[in-house]
Structure 1
Amino acid sequence: MANGFNPRDAAHLTDEDAAHVARRQRLLGPAYRLFYKTPVEISRAKGVFLYDKHGNEYLDAYNNVVSLGHAHPRVVAAIQKQLEVLCTHTRYMQDPLLDYAETLINTFGGELGRTGCAMFTCTGSEANDLALRIARYHTRRTGVIVTAEAYHGNSGAVAAISPSLGKKSALHPCLRMIAPPDSYRLPLAEIGRRMAEDVARQIADLERHGDGLAAFIADSVFSSDGLYVDPTDVLAPVAEVVRKAGGLFIADEVQSGFGRTGTHLWGHARHKVDPDIVTLGKPMGNGYPVAGLVVRPELVAEFGASMRYFNTFGGNSVAIAAAQAVLDTVLEDNLMDNATRVGGEILDGLRTLQNKYDFIGDVRGAGLYFAVELVKDRDRKVPDMDRALAAVNALRDQRILISATGADAHILKIRPPLVFTSANAARLLEGVDNALRAVQT
């Protein structure tokens, strides 16, 4: 795992931390992984800060789950108030469920905003799983196309379309992959055409092997591939090819949605594409497990007429209260404007550091989401994973938390909560400068 703690390299831990890790391994097993060479112990959190049991403060520049910051008072109050009144499933009539669905749907453009239907789950994995079920039922085909390092969840169905989970994670026989829109290595004007041609080739391959395309699914900021936020004209030509083949275009908004990119509430809107299905997750409840999708009505009508869909906890009363509080806060507190303004400060600062350190090959970002690509030399653009992971851990030692991404784990991934301030940005940039200086030689 990129930026993962290696339990076989624990000699540098304190006796207390080593004992905790050993206990964790015994009780949770080896599948659970910790971040960082020296894992972080967290006891509480508030806003953009995490605290260990000794009171040490960590700046959270990574956690998009709590997009409004940790323990946001409006979300906490909404959850607590609703939990004192009612927490039940969607098989009873409840106005708040419909109110939220209506508010959510109205944030979309195109056909989804006019006639879309909402369905609720607990996690983004479940949302993508359900989207696949609908797509495969509608098309009567199983083929799926994703980008080469995509991640779409950890249920059996979506793990099988998530190549980023590693070479030992089995992929679906009818999964096909295309290269991401690598704006660092490819001519910008050619990326959309290349992607559409790649998708067309993969569709032909699926059909030749006796299947066909059910869906193309993409995170529109291509987070796991390395965060490629520009150009924003690459998904429309892909959608055209997908629909011509009878497939559905699924926009996975778990990473890019709810204002993350600053200028748009939804990442796919930056590309001016109207998806057939949009899936939602992580930031939707600011840490409370709520997720879902918005889908064209004829697709869900066809699916729902043949089988029932029910999720015991998906869309429960408390989950909806949390989701409503999150969406209201994003819109009413102008957090997209904040993401654009503070994000611009961070992007400018990172580009200044790019001029200072010749091993920074590229800096990319939109809103409050950034990639700093580290390379061994700028001419050949060879990934430098060792330096990137060293930088991540050097930041951790300054109590600033980020991670790494990309197929070679050589890209610093910086993804602060939407409530980040200019002062937080200054501390982050100072820390990044210190970390890069430490790994310079």
Structure 2
Amino acid sequence: MMLKLNSFTATDNKTVPTHIIRRRSAISHHYELFYREPLNPVHAEGAWITDANGRKYLDAYNNVVSVGHGNQRVIDAMATQAKTICTHTRYINDELCRLSERLAAKHAGYNDWRSIFTCSGSEANDLAMRIAMQFTGGNGFIVTDHAYHGLTALTQAITTSMAGYLELSRRLGLEVVVIPSPVGKGEGDSFIENLRGAIYEMQSKGMRLAGGIFDSFFTSDGLGLTPKGFLEEAVTLLHDNDALYIADEVQPGFGRSGSYFWGFQTHGADPDIITMGKPMGNGYPMAAIMFKALLDDYIMDSYFNTFGGNNVAVAVGHAVLDEIEERNLLENARIQGDKLFLALDQLKKSYVNISSIRGSGMSIAVDVVTDDGAPNAEGALRIVEAMKQRGVIISTSGLMGNTLKIRPLLIYTNEETTFFIEQIQSAVRTVF
């Protein structure tokens, strides 16, 4: 399961550190830790994390802080607003409206969109699902086979990368049909056929389809980006069957593609609902949904969130957008991402155990295989551990757990990109 990938496991032949014993005594055992030797970060700045021993690590994983750890503009906005006023959305706040307008303006036809602000991507996806059910009258959702959409009741019921989702979906009365993710060369073509088959299955069983909800990059599935335009065709198919398309932009949004602000724009797709979170607040807990105006009448009763859209969150949201726009981080993500992709592609040509490189901007996946081409989850974990030893943080993803999940911060410099390339070359050389 996804949250257990690259997780710490205490073994009989290992002395469990005191801080691990304390952790297990104080908090739930269901919290996971990364790495065979868990990291103890105490400071972070820019693209670097420093542990309790003073060791620095280049962050190539934590896309929440995409404009940098300890970003001064974000900190100043947060502190200034907190000292001024922080209250909820039942009071007039023109800056809340302006933030909604700025986000909507990142794609065409923005005058026809409205927003609701939440605290997490899970909340955003949960609300999106409820709107889809209310609008269509259905309770059926189509998702991919290693997806992550959140940990509320509704969203965990469609999070196929975690155990128990089917049991939970039955308890909630949801109908969930799972299709293979479009990961790999040309898989987008079969994705359309699988989607068509899922719709037919629902209809033949008397289920009513509410929508398809897909991470625009299929990030947790292992990154599905080709062929160009396949997601646009999927949206048309959903609309033809009176269902909505929910674009989960919690991971691919906010310029990560290096080409567009939203991940769905790389596919030319036109979603009905857009959900967002993680990098939206650069560490401050904020998220939102945007939806076509006609859907506004399908929100049951009123909506209120005590902390979602509060004054501090709004100030932080503006600061993040200012950083992306004024520092031209979209272009930086493209430039640095292209360098990383080219170097990884060269590495693939030298090692039979690297079978595929997929990516767009600062979102890159590397498939690790055995000598005979089978998925090699152990090999992928060995590379992750070797990268940690060399001062770089990455992780794994994908249905078989054999995909390296590389998500550098949007602020990478040439020096940091070069450092990453040097370390992954060394790590792969050591492992294979």
Q: TM-score, normalised by structure 1?
A: 0.94
Indicate if the aligned counterparts of 2:156 and 2:165 stay in contact, CA closer than 8 A: no
Counterpart position of 1:4:
7
The superposition leaves residues 30-66 of structure 1 with CA deviations (integer Å, 9 ceiling, x where unpaired) of: 1111001110001110000011122211111111000
Work out the CA distance in 2 between the residues paired with 1:403 and 1:384: 14
Counterpart position of 1:20:
19
1:176 partnered with 2:172: no
Work out the CA distance in 2 between the residues paired with 1:115 and 1:141: 24
Indicate if the aligned counterparts of 1:163 and 1:171 stay in contact, CA closer than 8 A: no
Indicate if the aligned counterparts of 2:146 and 2:221 stay in contact, CA closer than 8 A: yes
1:226 partnered with 2:229: no
Work out the CA distance in 2 between the residues paired with 1:211 and 1:181: 24
Counterpart position of 1:288:
284
Indicate if the aligned counterparts of 1:123 and 1:289 stay in contact, CA closer than 8 A: yes
1:432 partnered with 2:424: yes
Indicate if the aligned counterparts of 1:109 and 1:274 stay in contact, CA closer than 8 A: no
1:381/1:228 Cα in 2 relative to 1: closer, same or farther (>3 Å)? farther
The partner residue of 1:144 within 132, 141, 145 is: 141
Work out the CA distance in 1 between the residues paired with 2:317 and 2:278: 11
Work out the CA distance in 1 between the residues paired with 2:348 and 2:128: 40
Indicate if the aligned counterparts of 1:235 and 1:271 stay in contact, CA closer than 8 A: yes
Indicate if the aligned counterparts of 1:203 and 1:212 stay in contact, CA closer than 8 A: no
What letter matches 1:299 in structure 2?
L
The partner residue of 1:340 within 334, 337, 354 is: 334
The partner residue of 2:128 within 120, 123, 131 is: 131
1:155 partnered with 2:152: yes
1:168/1:105 Cα in 2 relative to 1: closer, same or farther (>3 Å)? closer
What letter matches 1:419 in structure 2?
I
1:168/1:197 Cα in 2 relative to 1: closer, same or farther (>3 Å)? closer
Work out the CA distance in 2 between the residues paired with 1:193 and 1:373: 20
1:393 partnered with 2:385: yes
Give the Å deviation of 1:206.
1.7
How big is the alpha-carbon RMSD for the aligned residues of Structure 1 and Structure 2?
Answer: 1.5
Question: Pairwise mapping of residues 297-308 of structure 1 onto structure 2 (< 5 A)?
Answer: 297-303=293-299, 306-308=300-302
Work out the CA distance in 2 between the residues paired with 1:418 and 1:22: 36
Give the Å deviation of 1:358.
1.3
Indicate if the aligned counterparts of 2:256 and 2:330 stay in contact, CA closer than 8 A: yes
What letter matches 2:23 in structure 1?
R
1:298/1:83 Cα in 2 relative to 1: closer, same or farther (>3 Å)? same
What letter matches 1:287 in structure 2?
G
Work out the CA distance in 2 between the residues paired with 1:347 and 1:131: 34
Give the Å deviation of 1:271.
0.9
Counterpart position of 1:326:
320
Counterpart position of 1:258:
254
Give the Å deviation of 1:226.
0.7
Give the Å deviation of 1:308.
1.1
Give the Å deviation of 1:10.
7.1
1:206 partnered with 2:202: yes
Unaligned runs of 5+ in 2: none
Give the Å deviation of 1:171.
4.8
Indicate if the aligned counterparts of 1:261 and 1:369 stay in contact, CA closer than 8 A: yes
Give the Å deviation of 1:11.
1.4
SS in 2 for 1:165: coil
Counterpart position of 1:39:
38
What letter matches 2:195 in structure 1?
V
Give the Å deviation of 1:195.
2.0
Indicate if the aligned counterparts of 1:159 and 1:169 stay in contact, CA closer than 8 A: no
Give the Å deviation of 1:166.
3.0
Work out the CA distance in 2 between the residues paired with 1:221 and 1:300: 27
Question: Pairwise mapping of residues 273-284 of structure 1 onto structure 2 (< 5 A)?
Answer: 273-284=269-280
The partner residue of 2:399 within 396, 404, 407 is: 407
The superposition leaves residues 58-89 of structure 1 with CA deviations (integer Å, 9 ceiling, x where unpaired) of: 11111100010101000000000000001111
1:168/1:205 Cα in 2 relative to 1: closer, same or farther (>3 Å)? closer
Indicate if the aligned counterparts of 2:140 and 2:210 stay in contact, CA closer than 8 A: yes
Indicate if the aligned counterparts of 2:41 and 2:50 stay in contact, CA closer than 8 A: yes
Indicate if the aligned counterparts of 2:157 and 2:165 stay in contact, CA closer than 8 A: no
Indicate if the aligned counterparts of 1:290 and 1:315 stay in contact, CA closer than 8 A: yes
What letter matches 1:90 in structure 2?
T
Indicate if the aligned counterparts of 2:189 and 2:227 stay in contact, CA closer than 8 A: no
SS in 1 for 2:161: helix
Work out the CA distance in 2 between the residues paired with 1:363 and 1:167: 31
SS in 2 for 1:210: coil
Unaligned runs of 5+ in 1: none
SS in 1 for 2:253: coil
SS in 2 for 1:170: helix
1:393/1:140 Cα in 2 relative to 1: closer, same or farther (>3 Å)? same
Work out the CA distance in 2 between the residues paired with 1:301 and 1:311: 18
Counterpart position of 1:121:
118
What letter matches 1:43 in structure 2?
V
